[in-house]
Amino acid sequence: MRIMCLNGWGGKLHDRLVPYLAAVAPDILCLQEVVHSPASARDWLDYRDGNHLLAQRANLFRDVCAALPDHAGIFCPAAQGVLWDGKEPVPSQWGLATFVHKSFPIIGQVQGFVHKSFSADGYGDHPRSRNAHAVRVHDFSKARQVCVAHMHGLRDLGGKHDTPERLAQARRFADICSFVSEPGDGVVACGDFNIEPQSLTFRILAELGLADLVTGRGFTDTRTSHYRKAGRFADYMLVNDRVDVLGFDVVAQPEVSDHRPLLIEI
């Protein structure tokens, strides 16, 4: 079983991202920063936040569903706000999505918030609502159950250091992992956590028996050349001792986002 975790950057590099996902076709894909704009037929819309302008693939969720036709796609919105088609506002949902190959039946799942709650009337002030999703699947080939959970951690304009909100976020994420998993399950917990490697988040997740592969295997960068700020850590993937890791990589090439994909084979 191959599991990938990636922040899709709103599909900004869509022409690279979607073919890459179709080619790799992981059994389970955990994708953050997913845009879903069912009211628009446009391919691209603009996100505006003050002077910040970012092109967004208007229906990235639909695009990835089309690229992975043998997967069940689950979109988990964190907020509905406005993207722009020129001068016209377009309602658009933003969140994360999980794609599971249909050969692995989903026998349990939970979706919830790790910071704030669903924002229905705009994306809101920073730090904005953040959510998580976990699935429990049955692997017929190994006669086992695997729980895969991911979250998109809050973005604090003050940096990636520990805050009370981030510690509360970690506890909520741990609760979501615990809720869907059963004793004896392999557990993979991942996402764009938006924290530094020394964060107390890892102590909280260690209480579930989870250990990080990114720092544990000596990787020092989870960002691509499209990210030009300091602080090269953002994304992490943790496993418990029921997961037999056959291979793990923080994929440097191709660059399909400002984040690197995390890819594990178990």
pLDDT tens digits in sequence order for the chain, 266 residues long: 999 999 999 999 999 999 999 999 999 999 999 999 999 999 999 999 888 888 999 999 999 999 999 999 999 999 999 999 999 999 999 999 999 999 999 999 999 999 999 999 999 888 999 999 999 999 999 999 999 999 999 998 888 999 999 999 999 999 999 999 999 999 999 999 999 999 999 999 999 999 999 999 999 999 999 999 888 999 999 999 999 999 999 999 999 999 999 999 99
Question: How far is it, in rounded angstroms, from Cα 129 to Cα 123?
Answer: 8
Give the CA angle between residues 67, 145, 62 to the nearest 5°: 20
Report the predicted TM-score, pTM, of the whole model to 2 decimal places: 0.97
Question: How far is it, in rounded angstroms, from Cα 266 to Cα 264?
Answer: 6
Question: How far is it, in rounded angstroms, from Cα 6 to Cα 251?
Answer: 10
Question: How far is it, in rounded angstroms, from Cα 134 to Cα 96?
Answer: 11
Q: What Å distances lie between residue 97 and 92, 111, 169, CA to CA?
A: 15, 10, 19
Whichever domain contains 212, its CATH number is 3.60.10.10
Domain span holding position 90: 2-265
Number of domains forming the structure of the chain: 1
Please tell me whether the peptide bond between 19 and the residue prior to it is cis, using omega within 30 degrees of 0: no
